[in-house]
Amino acid sequence: MSFGTRLAKAVAERGPLCVGIDPHPGLLADWGLPADASGLERFALTCVEAFAGQVSLVKPQSAFFEAYGSKGVAVLERVVGSLRDADTLVLVDAKRGDIGSTMAAYAAAYLAEGAPLAGDAVTVSPFLGFGSLDPAIEAARANGRGVFVLARTSNPEGSTVQHAVLPDGRTVAQSIVDSAAAANAGAEPLGDVGLVIGATLAELDVDLSALNGPVLAPGFGAQGAGVADLRRLFGAELRGVLPSSSRDVLRHGPDVAALRAAALRVRDEVA
């Protein structure tokens, strides 16, 4: 079963919310946990217990695990495996991007069947050219997984690259959207190539009408975006839009019941 099919099924059953697992040192401190691998493990596995089976998609942020070296990566492997065992889709937020054999190695690490870090999808960066992502897209398709490609981010620096105009008159951001749309052409109900588009943008300056794939919209909740912003940017139907919330939910820890209740509250808000 393709990732797009599995994602559409999960959203139909559990709503479109994506909850992030971001073990920021400040959050570890707020939870009364040490900023070491043991605190990371307690934080992350508490999140797994709270969110597994409750939301469509859970997104561990790889950098916060990598910061603790091999012990942190081992925790990330456990998080990915535990969520998948609980029939919960996992998006590994790694934002990898490179060329040739190196990109193929990243694809093997995050998208190959049996790879310890392989969730159901991974975030990737196209800014070495969209074609550099071919190994990841091919591996995703071969293994029933997906990729989410950075396209229009909400950080102020992003526009210096994403608004740059190509010789054909399109912006870099629009060219990324168009390439993703081409990769998704003909897929039902959704393609496997998603985009990352910030929910806190002042306006949507790309045309998504042909995308036929999911959109991860980070920035919902603590970063300021609400349901009205989602509808303003993406339209009333919000088909394929996955609002992503991290801090707004995670601040309710370390109590598992409180974390789960916060996730369900946000899930119902965006349903």
Residues serving a catalytic function are 95
Which residues are within 8 A (CB) of 159 and not within 5 positions of it... i.e. 6 or more apart?
none
Which residues are within 8 A (CB) of 124 and not within 5 positions of it... i.e. 6 or more apart?
94, 95, 96, 97, 106, 133, 136, 147, 148, 149, 150
Task: Quote the CA–CA distance of 245 and 47 in Å, as a whole number.
Answer: 13
Checking DSSP bridges between strand 18-21 and strand 121-124, what pairing results, if any? unpaired
Helical spans, DSSP H, in 54-157: 62-66, 69-85, 100-111, 134-142
* 98, amino acid identity: D
Helical spans, DSSP H, in the chain: 3-14, 25-30, 37-51, 62-66, 69-85, 100-111, 134-142, 158-162, 172-184, 227-234, 247-250, 256-270
CB 215 within 8 A of CB 206: no
The phi and psi torsions of 217 (rounded to 5 degrees) equal -115, 85
On the CB side of 113, CA atoms within 13 Å amount to: 5
* 34, amino acid identity: P
3-state secondary structure of 8: helix
